[in-house]
Structure 1
């Protein structure tokens, strides 16, 4: 590396701590659609999407226009001080889009972690219970509570304890590496039914406010539960008066081919959290829930100075229009079909690919040293990511072992850009695996 990127990297290392890790060495000067251009003029195909933030692409014209228009009117008043129409309009839009026919209400914050924190606050207030059950491989954020809910210790939790109390963790539906040593579908969804036993051995149902889960675990490795999993969890939760919180921070806003990923399971959660892509790159998150739950808290109990910033709300309204009225959701479905066919073909050709999973264009390949032992190939996954970057493709690894290659490309990616990116990915896999 040389040139302006090198100069800026040296400056970054002098003035910014090492804690905020950098996946690539690129400094970006501009980006459009699914292409980023660094400060030395190098074009990069974006399969990372700002970690799932750019579903409608970089600088979508409608998002840019909405931001510019609102910025020229006013930037901030604080919704608690002087209200504004974009906040209310966006809440109305999300309430209509959220699963289920019950009346909904929506609260806005700034980040996915804030949304999860507020969802737990709502659940605890409404149920008058303290405990929250989360899952192995989960990622919910980096604040005290959400770091506690997050599963992976390094790098997210190591050295940052003690953690928040009344958080309990149980196994998730990781069919490729079943924690119960079973095989689907003959397992009878033992991982979901285990919740009843969990109430006996870990925390009483009567003390549990909520169960929180990602429909597809993002940082955990795009782990995708079987069809009956969430309906079983929901049934058990309803039996005990426990709320089901679905964390759609990474999976929402069309990432899986539906506006909310939980729609694939046909289950209606009590509370949904959103962030990342639904505001087109602006810092905005949402908590959407049944009206009687969301409205239970006393006035002043929820909120924040920047939550639901008017510029971010305008951007999010534009994103909803792009996804639904402009047909980008249809493009997401088609993109997912193309990716699935290509990934399945890659898996047939390369033994290093142990599992292909996900929904729609939210797909991943788990890399293994050997398909029989399923030994995680973490070093090879890291090498694939590095080799792809050298060839002009930015993508991410994930998973507790760091051995999963995931795709989060903007849904507006062109067929030509997609084919070029997939070609780079397959070529890099072949080189690293020695096939």
Structure 2
């Protein structure tokens, strides 16, 4: 069988054997290193999605791989029924990175969001004094925090919600980036404001300057927790350790995931102080795999790498280079370019093509990207990408927009 035939067969097998909850591009990846992946046909592609920021530090980052490989030879899973020698150090190091007291480790990002919701509600009842079963949490329209039932209950994406009800009550939706609307929505039942400092799935939407500071001030004034979902925006992607750092804002709870596992294992966490996370007691919340030795080994490597500040500076510098390049395409069909650090949301003139079509054309140019919401695409390459490789991306996008690209 030819390699081309193998790719076709593997795609067909996947379509026959898995539920159709994704619509992937027609490429079958078999290998990856750094910012590049190789498909079963031997073609190389520059990865500009980085698994939605889960691969911030590149495919098979040597430092993270070494830490995980060493742990593989020792112990991988104990469950939280027992202590193990990686959890305490991981939690302490991550808490220190965030300037907090405690870490509640989980696995996936959605699981961490669910955890933060439970913590906020329990804090509301036991600390703030909200009457039982009346707690409310305020979220923003355009949000994306996952796809569990509770989370889609406050999604404004019809695709995520349709035919999945009934939904979990207790949430109020306000416009993103609108402090007066937020202030009007807070009442005595409000226990938390849950927002993304930068909305990723919405198309890398950066809020107006000062928004995060105003959210923090409102939460302080009204006795409400500020919960920041930094699953995509955190851990170096936005050019800082956390996107909230751009306004020197410290939330009550950080929700972390994706890059925390180094692109190797799923690792997530809720990070906060004793006065909030301390409301959780044994038996009230848990996860068999949450905080397992292998995950902690990967997480410790990630935290160690971020503690130097080098990755954050790299994202800032390369981000400037990316946005400088994209600015040269303003008259080629780009309606708007948004972002921060090495993270860009690009709105393409829908009269030219849809976001999906743009990504298909980029695939033919050897670039992997992902569309969202019509004619928007996102660029989030691993932070190991070089300036020269960013130029390849910009040049490929130029060819796509001007119709000069050639099918591979």
Gaps of 5+ in 1: 174-190, 200-204, 370-376
- C-alpha distance after superposition, 1:38-88 (max 9, x if no partner): 11111111001012111100001111111111011011000x211112221
Partner of 1:94 in structure 2? 94
Counterpart pick for 1:153 among 143, 152, 158: 158
CA shift at 1:393, angstroms? Answer: 0.6
- C-alpha distance after superposition, 1:125-183 (max 9, x if no partner): 111141111111000001111222332121x222211111111111112xxxxxxxxxx
Partner of 1:7 in structure 2? 9
Mapping of residues 268-283 of structure 1, within 5 Å: 268-281=250-263, 282-283=265-266
Q: Distance in 1 between matches of 2:245 and 2:366?
A: 35
Please give the secondary structure, in 1, of the residue aligned with 2:338: strand
Counterpart pick for 2:342 among 350, 357, 361: 361
Mapping of residues 398-409 of structure 1, within 5 Å: 398=372, 401-409=373-381
1:426 aligns with 2:383: no
Counterpart pick for 2:205 among 210, 223, 245: 223
Partner of 1:178 in structure 2? none
Partner of 2:362 in structure 1? 388
Q: CA 1:157–1:27 in 2, change beyond 3 Å: closer, same or farther?
A: same
CA shift at 1:326, angstroms? Answer: 7.9
Mapping of residues 244-323 of structure 1, within 5 Å: 244-281=226-263, 282-323=265-306
Partner of 1:37 in structure 2? 38
Aligned partners of 2:144 and 2:199 also within 8 Å:
yes
Partner of 1:234 in structure 2? 216
Q: Distance in 1 between matches of 2:152 and 2:139?
A: 11
Q: CA 1:193–1:325 in 2, change beyond 3 Å: closer, same or farther?
A: same
Q: Distance in 1 between matches of 2:291 and 2:91?
A: 10
CA shift at 1:419, angstroms? Answer: 1.8
Please give the secondary structure, in 2, of the residue aligned with 1:308: coil
| Count of equivalent residues | 394
Q: Distance in 2 between matches of 1:164 and 1:316?
A: 32
Q: Distance in 1 between matches of 2:201 and 2:304?
A: 28
TM-score by length of 1: 0.87
Q: Distance in 1 between matches of 2:260 and 2:216?
A: 25
Mapping of residues 95-114 of structure 1, within 5 Å: 95-98=95-98, 103-114=100-111
Q: Distance in 2 between matches of 1:87 and 1:147?
A: 31
TM-score by length of 2: 0.92
CA shift at 1:378, angstroms? Answer: 9.2
Aligned partners of 1:135 and 1:213 also within 8 Å:
yes
CA shift at 1:233, angstroms? Answer: 1.5
Q: CA 1:326–1:69 in 2, change beyond 3 Å: closer, same or farther?
A: farther
Counterpart pick for 2:176 among 172, 175, 182: 172
- C-alpha distance after superposition, 1:321-367 (max 9, x if no partner): 233338222211111110121122222x32x3222211111122222
Please give the secondary structure, in 1, of the residue aligned with 2:161: coil
CA shift at 1:238, angstroms? Answer: 1.6
Partner of 1:334 in structure 2? 317
